[in-house]
Amino acid sequence: MDAEMHRRCANTIKGLAMDAVQAANSGHPGMPMGMADAAIVLWTQFLRFDPEAPDWPDRDRFVLSAGHGSMLLYALLHLAGYDLSLDDIKAFRQWGSRTPGHPEVGETPGVETTTGPLGQGFANAVGMAIAERTLRDTFGAELCDHRIFGICSDGDLMEGISSEAASLAGHLGLGRIVMLYDDNKISIDGSTELTFTEDVPGRMRAMGWHVLQVDGHDPAQIAQAIEAAIAHAEQPSLVCCKTVIGQGSPSFEGTSKTHGAPLGHDEVRATKTRLGMDPDATFAVPADVSTAFRSAAAAELRESWEARVADHPRGSEFRAWLEPDWSALADRVEWPSFEAGTSLATRKASAACLKAITAAVPFLIGGSADLAGSNGTAIGAQALSSAGFAGANTVHFGVREHAMGAICNGMALHGGVRPYNATFLAFHDYQRPAVRLSGLMHQPVLYIYTHDSVFLGEDGPTHQPIATLLALRALPGVEVWRPADATETAVAWRESLLRVQGPSALILTRQGLPVLDREALAPSSAVRRGGYVLSEAPTTEDGSADEPQVVLIGTGSEVATCMAAQQLLADSGVAARVVSMPCRERFAREDAVYRDAVCPPGVPRVSVEAAVTLGWHRWIGDGGVALGIDHYGVSAPAKVIAERLGFTPERVADAVRSLLS
């Protein structure tokens, strides 16, 4: 592309960004205007894509971590020939449009991940690189050979998650990452001199990155830097592009005024005039500009790849990784069985399940935030290392909970692997933003949370999650499983594997729980409905089930407490039904007939859960009683905590008697 055509392409992108933001009366024009030059070089000279097959598995990935600059991406997608019309761009940020304020995967063809919360996309890119290398090391470059390119901002690199992710990427030598850094020295509040004066190149080099610095408005320098980054295959690369935010605006370029607001009609006209554009034309896309972009599409590369996969001796196996039959895979797992009456922590039951799943599903890949032994993820699998990923199933994430979640999102978005990660439930708070995005993006990430309540004991309130269950359940799209015993844990694992349109969280105990007798109680098949009658009210003298006078609803470790309370109540002539509710989201999706059969209308209900009581009203009704803990815990042995806080069969029975009286 010659200099004149490059200038025309840059002006077109700037014009689309200014016009769309102005029409919406909201948005961020400055970043697209400042990074247009670098983006054009990347998309027309290096990025391998095919608009006719946006999900081609061996395409290069492009991650706009600086998601506030969404109009840059929308302009690129439109010019490159993706199914994104000029009318879509004119509807920027409007109800029902395909051009939301920040890029959303699944809403717009060509968008690889949902970005906007800064740093998330950067970490997603690391996850994509892990998935790419896993597939490449396993099947060879003939089947998997692409790169992960991205654009990040000062704000991305300020966020701690980017440091977590960059550190792991450098450690693993993820040389397929090439990140362009929009080094414009401007944030919303003004110059980054206010808060961000560190040596970014030095920091990234210290974390194992290959760093290059260029004039972000010089196409030749940008191209040379990207070439050098691609050639430097041992390390991830950061190309620091020194840019001017809002470049071209006579009054506002280089200032925070272009960051998050329209330029104004007069300034848009003045900018177009300065750039040599028609100030009266809006949403103008010259035909030769579209031609220049669309000629960069790589349909022939995609077709060649498809032929190689079809002819390759491992092509079918490779396709099975990309498009797994989860039902068949779940049936292939040799699920562990557990002896009724024994005691086993659900984290240990989970470890047995995870080991069995990994043996049947080689592309289930994940690990723990430096808690593998405690979380039950130390299953003897080979770990990813800079030397190679083939045959490896374990990622040592280190103490990086936030990046761990976002990296797993990137792995899931990439495809070909199924990610899981683990930490203590209390530390969900550190990774909550990534879990929220898992739900928003409908990504099937598996979250393992152990040490699930005050009953972890002596570590005290810093490690005892009180409100975390409520926080997880508040996230739309997340299924939260808190199994009552080892058998429920196995069912929760199977159901989570089968769920491919959203994340699942398994909430597991540190302490041992009795394995329930499925011969005497409800069968394990009932668990998948999320809530079920575990133990009916005691039988009458003629052998029929007594009508329950109260329904005890428990989750996790408190189900055993409800079972013991049921017997105490029976001894005093009170018929209690015990309902186990391991997954409220599943139970909520059952029809009203089933829910009413489990929790009959008009029958008083008592919930028992070692967590905050907020949120239980829906299930116990106005007249019900929620037994929980609405304050922080204390450092003491678990048995003492249970007695002092009242999580005992006696207290539950007393609460029922008080309710009925």
Give CA–CA dist 45/39, Å, rounded.
10
Contact of 192 with 245, CB cutoff 8 Å: no
Catalytic: 112?
A: no
Q: What are phi and psi of 237, to 5 degrees?
A: -120, 140
Judge whether 345 and 515 are in contact, CB under 8 Å. no
Backbone angles phi, psi at 385, to 5 degrees: -145, 165
Which residues have CB under 8 Å from 608's CB, separation 6+?
Answer: 552, 553, 554, 558, 561, 562, 565, 627, 628, 647, 652
Q: Are 189 and 256 in contact (CB under 8 A)?
A: yes
Nearest Cα neighbor of 147 from 119, 104, 112 is: 112
Distance (Å, rounded) from C-alpha 492 to C-alpha 580? Answer: 13
Residue 173, SS3 per DSSP: coil
3-state secondary structure of 100: coil
Which of 239, 235, 237 lies closest to 171 in space, CA to CA?
A: 235
Phi, psi of 394 (to 5 degrees): -115, 135
Hey, what are 576's tokens? 């209690």
- Cα(500)–Cα(356) distance, rounded to whole angstroms? 19
**Mode of pairing for the β-strands spanning 177-183 and 186-187:** unpaired
164, 253, 267, 401: which one is catalytic?
401
- Provide the 8-state DSSP code for 494: H
The catalytic site residues sit at: 401
